[in-house]
């Protein structure tokens, strides 16, 4: 595997991705072989905003490899947040830990961290921007449960507009051949145009549906997510429509015997409890696949550790990102890094496109 | 050992109990033998309400066996509490952890958790309902310090009405032969009638006393607990009586040379600091016995792990528990489970008796 | 090594200190040899006030030795703080843990803890009083980076009046031969007279300077600390002077090629980011030296563990410490311990001098 950090799944080659997915399967089949493979190593989980769920999945993965843990999960009251820059924290922690997992409310924080870290950095969520190990979890689950990542008809239900996990999954699955996406959502919560363009560029088929019932007989996979109440245009619309986006036993009866149902969890009420008993429901198993995926990732990342301080980067442009949630807003020492797309500038930290004047 | 979970010490056979107690003694004598016996295992401590003391005792026990730790201790601000059901959390965590320790403010939460967990569940306190490892700690301490659990005259001082630890200890010691209970409390804080009935059914002797001085010469064991100020009928009553329920050096002078003083801790002022120097004071050692008790329990529970999802339970009755602190009040998917006692229904989660209409 | 606890670096003999410093160097050169040397041991970090930075440095050191961790970092909401005395907590925790690291806002809390602990106690900060492992970190860094602890010209910049780390460093370095201190500060923030007396008694040279520029060409070491804005006599004074106490590239250009710059971190803006690239800047490496220093300390302290409860101490005088931040103010059972200096009493917990009437 080539990658030194995991910031964005898009920057990982398909070869690297396949290597991690295959390796996760090996671990699943032989978990006891791996009990001590990272003995003597330390992982730091730097959670600038609390996410018990994500943090526990990383911690479990590390511990199952014999890796030890340091970190924090809510630095609000701690000295870490007392005016210290992200750079200084990362420089210090990468003296302590062999691998760093970071979650931060600002977009691009993981990329920024990797620029100063002597140890590999894994992005565990940078605001609403990226959360690559969730998508890796989804891919490992699908690969193992369906035996393939291509030639799948994938149902996607929920909020297609804001759902970070759905966007990332679509991007990743579009890279494999002959995948088809059937999307069930409200008209207001359709997929953003740039992702529709992306699917078309990759030659993927896609279609919209108004109800789950329409797509159930056809799909190989159903990826459920939640539509938050406040996303509906009105309380009346919510009350009238909410049942449409709920998976229940009756809808499951319409589906193929080898359907697999996934959900990034936590589930609220968008899947009824009775569906849990259905052997096609795999959302709880998905968390176990996520553990194997993270174990594979940690092993591969630790193999790539050099302990060098990365070479200093210089600003590429004399410009400032306009996204107020970009990490460059608060960490002013960061070099200004942009790539040019059709003459516009795109911030390398948060992927915000800044229009030419 | 037969038990798959430890929810209620009452559901553990005397054989199982004796096995744990004996095994705790073996560990105490040979702690270094056990340093790695749970190597490669993970324990999750799910503390829905913080209890640093209890959590640290479990964590120490697990770590001393080479078991690793995940968990949380105050999910108020974390995603765990964001609308996820207890069932879903337990299903996910039991994919991560080989054994689960749970503390929750709702009565019956540990039983409910065990119904969905692939891993053994240990109850570390479910509201004011049960706290079986505290009682196990008391039994191990007594067994080791006195050499027996029968033929004991046990002094109990403090709040007999609300004291969960005292109730549980009485129930457990009543099962052994020829134990006699001497209780010192205020008239308002006497033992509940159902426990008096219990002692009588088991053929135990018992008596009430107004002062510690009366019972000190006779007792083999003194189990001290605290009477909270607000339990006294008035501030005047508190000021007038508080000294009666305080153990000091003068009262210790009345006791046998082989008396043992226990206390579940934390101690506030119901035992004076000077008593700490008395070799008969064993309340600090008690915490060490608790560590060995929990080590024994963890080893035995891990031996019983099957990793199966428990079979689904169906409601036994069309009724609803009336206890507002019962876990069935908030987790609505739980089957309604009751046992019938003299025609009344008793909730299996919280042991509340629902009268026939 | 003789010392059973590390409360105050002043109570450690120079032989013990040199042993730790040498041993830290051995660990730095051969880190993998030490991966399991404390296997089976448990360290408790009792942080009565949060200090993520210090706690992580201790945790990393322990984990790199195979030592396991229990503890808390903010007992405000936990049962530990519910009226339990420091003594009781320490008695219980020292049944669980083989070594205890304590941080507490009250001065003398570490000394008080060591009087009841079966396990060695390391002071990780007791209010503004002592923080010996920071100074140990500084000494290990200097020893390794300069090859010696004597014959050094040491620049000290910042708040000389309130800076605990600077005071402690001066005291330690004064014990080595031919060290010279050049201090840069505001007139209001000069070194307290008792430390000037101390340097003179040890025969150390010292001088004051108004600017960093004056001393840069001469110094072997620059120890930077921050002057907090509120320490300046006025906002105008702050704005006018702040640049004087900031280390930047221009000032670095005046210095020797083998200068070493240290800083206890966190750094705010008293060292500009550009200095980070200078190979003479060693403040990030300093945290790594701190890890080795703490590893050495933990190993040596664990070797000295007897697991005995320390013998009870009696009050030496019928007096009460007048320092409201002294641990004796809140923990009333503590014996009153004083030493006599020129007829005055000096509190052994907090070093406050109580004048004769």
Q: Convert the pLDDT of each residue in A208-217 to its tens digit.
A: 999 999 999 9
Q: What distance, in Å, lies between the first and last C-alpha atoms of chain C?
A: 41
Q: Are B271 and B283 in contact (CB under 8 A)?
A: yes
pLDDT tens-digit series, residues C315-351: 999 999 999 999 999 999 999 999 999 999 999 999 9
| CATH class of residue range B9-131+288-303 | alpha beta
> A60 to chain B: which residues are within 8 Å by CB?
42, 70, 96-97
A32 touches chain C (CB under 8 A): no
Confidence of residue C233 (pLDDT cuts 50, 70, 90): confident
Query: Are residues A79 and C268, on separate chains, in Cβ contact within 8 Å?
Result: no
Q: Is the peptide bond before B266 cis (omega within 30 degrees of 0)?
A: yes
Q: Are A264 and A54 in contact (CB under 8 A)?
A: no
pLDDT at position B73? 85
Longest Cα–Cα distance in chain A: 59
- Chains in contact with chain C (at least 3 beta-carbon pairs closer than 8 A): A, B
> C312 to chain B: which residues are within 8 Å by CB?
277
pLDDT tens-digit series, residues A1-50: 889 999 999 999 999 999 999 999 999 999 999 999 999 999 999 999 88
Residue A353 has pLDDT above 90, yes or no: yes
Q: Are A138 and A165 in contact (CB under 8 A)?
A: yes
B155 touches chain A (CB under 8 A): no
pLDDT at position C43? 98
- Chains in contact with chain B (at least 3 beta-carbon pairs closer than 8 A): A, C
ipTM of the complex: 0.94
Confidence of residue C94 (pLDDT cuts 50, 70, 90): very high
The answer for residues whose C-beta is within 8 angstroms of residue A115's C-beta and 6 or more apart is A310, A313, A334
CA dist., res. C315 & res. C334, Å (int): 8
Domain residue extents for chain B:
9-131+288-303, 147-283, 313-357
pLDDT at position C80? 58
> C80 to chain B: which residues are within 8 Å by CB?
52-53
B43 touches chain A (CB under 8 A): no
CA nearest to B16, candidates B167, B132, B107, B124? B132
Q: How far is B40 from chain A (nearest CA, A)?
A: 6
The pTM score is 0.96
> A75 to chain C: which residues are within 8 Å by CB?
52
pLDDT at position A81? 53
Query: Are residues C284 and A92, on separate chains, in Cβ contact within 8 Å?
Result: yes
Distance set, CA C131 to CA C7, C124, C149 (Å): 8, 6, 20
Intrachain domains C9-131+288-303 and C147-283 with the same fold:
yes
Q: Could you give the angle at the alpha carbon of A270 between the alpha carbons of B48 and A135, nearest 5°? A: 80
Restricting to C residues 290-319, those with a Cβ less than 8 Å away from any Cβ of B are: 312
Q: Which CATH architecture has domain A147-283?
A: 3-Layer(aba) Sandwich (3.40)
pLDDT at position B229? 83
Confidence of residue C242 (pLDDT cuts 50, 70, 90): confident
B178 touches chain A (CB under 8 A): no
pLDDT tens-digit series, residues A154-180: 999 999 998 889 999 999 999 999 999
CA nearest to B329, candidates B356, B311, B310, B352? B352
What percentage of chain A reaches a pLDDT higher than 90?
84
Q: How far is C30 from chain A (nearest CA, A)?
A: 13
Query: Are residues A64 and B70, on separate chains, in Cβ contact within 8 Å?
Result: no
Chain CA centroid to CA A41, Å: 25
Of A70, A82, A83, the CB nearest to C56: A70
> C32 to chain A: which residues are within 8 Å by CB?
40
A93 touches chain C (CB under 8 A): yes
The answer for residues whose C-beta is within 8 angstroms of residue B219's C-beta and 6 or more apart is B153, B154, B155, B182, B255, B256, B259
Of A52, A267, A291, the CB nearest to B75: A52
C45 touches chain A (CB under 8 A): no
Q: Which of the residues B35, B52, B273 would you substitute to probe the C interface, choosing the one with the greatest number of C C-beta atoms within 10 Å? A: B52
CA nearest to B297, candidates B176, B120, B170? B120
Higher pLDDT, B221 or C226: B221
Q: Can you tell me the mean pLDDT for A224-238?
A: 87
- Chains in contact with chain A (at least 3 beta-carbon pairs closer than 8 A): B, C
Query: Are residues B284 and C92, on separate chains, in Cβ contact within 8 Å?
Result: yes
Query: Are residues C266 and A82, on separate chains, in Cβ contact within 8 Å?
Result: yes
Q: Hunting for tokens 């671990």 — which residue is that? A: A27
CA nearest to B308, candidates B116, B70, B156, B154? B116
Q: Are A172 and A145 in contact (CB under 8 A)?
A: no
Of A32, A52, A59, the CB nearest to B80: A52
Q: Can you tell me the mean pLDDT for A273-294?
A: 97
Distance set, CA C216 to CA A82, B216, C206 (Å): 29, 75, 15
C141 touches chain A (CB under 8 A): no
Summary mean pLDDT of chain C: 94
Query: Are residues B52 and C68, on separate chains, in Cβ contact within 8 Å?
Result: no
Nearest CA in chain A to C272: A333
Restricting to A residues 52-71, those with a Cβ less than 8 Å away from any Cβ of B are: 52-54, 56-57, 59-60, 63-64
pLDDT tens-digit series, residues C51-76: 888 999 999 999 999 999 999 987 66
Q: Can you tell me the mean pLDDT for C73-89?
A: 73
B265 touches chain C (CB under 8 A): yes
Query: Are residues A63 and B71, on separate chains, in Cβ contact within 8 Å?
Result: no
Query: Are residues A70 and C63, on separate chains, in Cβ contact within 8 Å?
Result: yes
pLDDT tens-digit series, residues C122-172: 999 999 889 999 999 999 999 999 999 999 999 999 999 988 899 999 999
pLDDT at position B240? 84
Per-residue pLDDT tens, chain B, 357 aa: give them.
889 999 999 999 999 999 999 999 999 999 999 999 999 999 999 999 888 889 999 999 999 999 999 999 876 645 555 678 999 999 999 999 999 999 999 999 999 999 999 999 999 999 988 999 999 999 999 999 999 999 999 999 999 998 889 999 999 999 999 999 999 999 889 999 999 999 999 999 999 999 999 999 999 999 999 888 888 888 888 888 888 899 999 999 999 999 999 999 999 899 999 999 999 999 999 999 999 999 999 999 999 999 999 999 999 999 999 999 999 999 999 999 999 999 999 999 999 999 876
Q: Is the peptide bond before A265 cis (omega within 30 degrees of 0)?
A: no
Q: How far is B231 from chain C (nearest CA, A)?
A: 18
Residue C46 has pLDDT above 60, yes or no: yes
Residue C186 has pLDDT above 80, yes or no: yes
Query: Are residues B284 and C95, on separate chains, in Cβ contact within 8 Å?
Result: yes
Residue A80 has pLDDT above 70, yes or no: no
Query: Are residues C60 and A312, on separate chains, in Cβ contact within 8 Å?
Result: no
Confidence of residue C232 (pLDDT cuts 50, 70, 90): confident
């Amino acid at each position: 595997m080539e990658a030194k950090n995991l910031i964005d799944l898009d920057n990982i080659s398909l070869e690297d991705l396949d290597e991690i997915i295959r390796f996760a399967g090996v671990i699943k089949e032989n978990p006891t072989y791996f009990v001590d493979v990272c003995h003597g190593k330390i992982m730091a989980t730097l959670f600038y905003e609390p996410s018990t769920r994500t943090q526990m999945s990383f911690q479990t993965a590390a511990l199952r490899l014999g890796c030890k843990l340091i970190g924090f999960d809510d630095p609000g009251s701690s000295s870490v947040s007392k005016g210290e820059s992200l750079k200084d924290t990362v420089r210090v922690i990468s003296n302590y830990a062999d691998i760093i997992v970071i979650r931060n409310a600002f977009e691009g924080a993981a990329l920024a961290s990797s620029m100063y870290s002597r140890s590999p950095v894994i992005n565990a969520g940078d605001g609403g921007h990226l959360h690559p190990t969730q998508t890796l979890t989804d891919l490992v689950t699908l690969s193992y449960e369906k035996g393939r990542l291509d030639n799948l008809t994938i149902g996607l239900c929920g909020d297609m507009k804001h759902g970070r996990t759905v966007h990332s999954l679509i991007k990743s699955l579009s890279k494999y051949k002959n995948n088809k996406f059937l999307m069930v959502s409200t008209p207001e919560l359709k997929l953003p145009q740039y992702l529709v363009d992306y699917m078309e560029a990759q030659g993927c088929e896609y279609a919209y549906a108004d109800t789950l019932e329409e797509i159930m007989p056809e799909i190989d996979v159903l990826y459920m997510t939640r539509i938050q109440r406040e996303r509906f245009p009105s309380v009346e619309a919510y009350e009238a429509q909410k049942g449409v986006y709920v998976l229940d036993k009756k809808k499951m009866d319409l589906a193929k015997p080898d359907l697999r149902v996934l959900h990034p969890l936590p589930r609220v009420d968008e899947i009824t409890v009775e569906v849990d008993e259905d052997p096609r429901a795999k959302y709880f198993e998905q968390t176990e696949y996520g553990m194997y995926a993270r174990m594979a990732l940690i092993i591969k990342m630790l193999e790539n550790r050099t302990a060098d301080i990365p070479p200093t980067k210089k600003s590429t442009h004399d410009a400032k990102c306009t996204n107020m949630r970009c990490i460059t807003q608060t960490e002013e020492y960061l070099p200004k890094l942009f790539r040019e797309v059709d003459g516009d500038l795109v911030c390398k930290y948060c992927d915000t496109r800044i229009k030419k004047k």
